[in-house]
């Protein structure tokens, strides 16, 4: 489906990759972003008469009916993200995430546009059963541990979206994204791969939180954005929730070793307790792995880009950035 498309959070990490892919396929784009963690630099190459960036909060921008002239679909990616931001100001994160989603769903309903909601594997909380399947019970820690607030806001987003689908027939698909990696992701909000790559390329010591035996599954952003577009193109996917990520997991220790080796082997690593890194009461799920059966059946999803390929490219881009060649750093306006 070509036509006009809105991407909220369009100047962020995943949003900027999605924008490039959609534009290459002939879509006209409106990127709505408050540039809190995204940046104009992330999308500067895309901006022209077919791709406009509106610097605003999503809930304000989508309230303007003129924005929706000719719009057929919206990818809602705007959210306060990153473990560090959630811990620093959980209340702001809760308000931001739920209010934006509620406003986007209501405006899309009025405009009769299709919607993709970017949810998160954090919705599973600390569910102990692997792999994580979309219809599982969700398990959260106590409300005194702020990190669960993020997953809860994403679960509320999902409830709002499913209700809009059931009561108003809104064409909405929900993706629970697992760890997504690629160029333009930034490390200072707690994202592990850019943090490790920056240190390894600088030959500095990598901080591994906890004992490093926790596992995660990382998927390249190009595989993720391709799948998002394929889900939106299939009517059967509306009203449904899909895990989206890789089904190959690594321990964080292995990830650090891999990055150090690919970067030339000069960096070291050390273990840092969660308490030291994030303060008391911090909890982290030991393992995360998606069951990808549902999305494989729906669109034949299989990641095409392996972890080593993405890591190698990220190390190269980091070197180019430090040498002052080309790539953008992201963050700020
Ligand atoms: N990257 C991952 O591994 C991952 C995993 C799970 C879920 N997600 C979800 O994917 C989406 C995109 O995340 P990302 O990794 O690209 O992070 P990101 O921080 O790069 O992107 C989020 C974007 O939303 C913008 N934003 C935040 N609040 C806004 C508001 N009120 N109005 C307008 N813009 C606003 C930010 O400036 C940023 O550009 C988020 O919804 C996130 O929760 C990402």
Q: Is residue 70 very low, low, confident or very high in pLDDT (cuts 50, 70, 90)?
A: very high
Q: Which atom of ligand 1 is nearest to the CA of 12?
A: 39
* Among protein residues, the one whose CA lies closest to atom 1 of ligand 1: 180
Q: Which of 81, 174, 224, 227 to mutate to test the pocket of ligand 1 (most atoms within 8 A of CB)?
A: 81
* CA-closest residue to ligand 1 atom 26: 78
Range with top average pLDDT, 1-15, 165-179, 319-333: 165-179
Which residue would you say has higher pLDDT here, 32 or 190? Answer: 32
Distance CA 18, CA 157 (A): 21
84-95 per-position pLDDT tens digit? 788 889 999 999
> 252 and 214 in contact (C-beta within 8 Å)?
yes
Residue 124 catalytic? Answer: no
Pocket residue to mutate for ligand 1, from 6, 8, 12, most atoms within 8 A of Cβ: 12
pLDDT confidence of residue 333: 36
Residue 245 has pLDDT above 50, yes or no: yes
CA distance 118 to 210: 28
In this structure, the residue with its CA closest to atom 28 of ligand 1 is: 79
Pairing, β 215-217 against β 249-251 = antiparallel
Q: How confident is the model at residue 331 (pLDDT cuts 50, 70, 90)?
A: very low
Which residue has its alpha carbon closest to ligand 1 atom 2?
180
Q: Which domains does the chain have, with CATH numbers?
A: 4-179+220-247+292-299 (3.40.50.720)
Point out the catalytic residue in the list 124, 140, 150, 189: 150
% residues pLDDT > 90 (the chain): 86
How high is the pLDDT of residue 82? 77
What does the pLDDT look like over 132-157, one tens digit per residue? 999 999 999 999 888 899 999 999 99
* Torsion-angle region of 133 (φ positive above 0: left; ψ -120 to 50: alpha; else: beta): beta
Instruction: Measure the CA–CA gap between 101 and 39, rounded to whole angstroms.
Output: 21
Q: Is the CB of 57 under 6 A from ligand 1?
A: yes
């Amino acid at each position: 489906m070509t036509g006009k498309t809105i991407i909220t959070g369009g100047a962020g990490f995943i949003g900027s990759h999605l924008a490039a892919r959609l534009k290459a396929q002939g879509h006209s784009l409106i990127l709505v972003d408050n540039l809190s963690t995204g940046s104009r630099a992330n999308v500067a190459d895309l901006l022209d008469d077919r791709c406009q960036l509106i610097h605003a909060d999503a809930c304000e921008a989508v309230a303007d009916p003129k924005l929706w002239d000719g719009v057929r679909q919206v990818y809602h990616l705007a959210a306060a993200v990153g473990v560090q931001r959630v811990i620093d100001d959980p209340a702001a994160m809760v308000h931001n995430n739920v209010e934006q989603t509620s406003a986007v769903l209501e405006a899309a309903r009025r405009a009769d546009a299709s919607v993709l909601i970017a949810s998160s594997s954090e919705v599973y909380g600390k569910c102990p059963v692997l792999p994580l399947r979309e219809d599982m019970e969700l398990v959260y820690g106590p409300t005194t541990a702020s990190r669960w607030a993020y997953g809860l806001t994403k679960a509320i987003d999902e409830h709002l979206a499913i209700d809009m689908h059931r009561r108003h027939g809104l064409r909405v698909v929900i993706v629970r994204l697992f760890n997504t990696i690629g160029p333009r992701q930034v490390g200072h909000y707690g994202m592990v791969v850019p943090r490790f790559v920056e240190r390894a390329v600088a030959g500095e010591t990598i901080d591994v939180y906890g004992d490093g035996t926790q596992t995660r599954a990382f998927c390249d952003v190009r595989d993720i954005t391709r799948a998002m577009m394929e889900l939106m193109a299939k009517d059967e996917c509306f009203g449904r929730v899909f895990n989206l990520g890789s089904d190959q997991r690594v321990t964080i220790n292995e990830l650090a070793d891999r990055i150090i080796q690919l970067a030339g082997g000069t960096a070291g690593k050390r273990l840092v307790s969660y308490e030291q890194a994030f303060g008391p009461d911090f909890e982290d799920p030991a393992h995360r792995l998606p069951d990808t059966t549902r999305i494989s059946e729906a669109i034949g999803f299989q990641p095409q880009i392996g972890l080593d390929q993405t890591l190698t490219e990220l190390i190269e881009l980091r070197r180019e950035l430090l040498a002052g060649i080309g790539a953008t750093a992201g963050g700020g306006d």
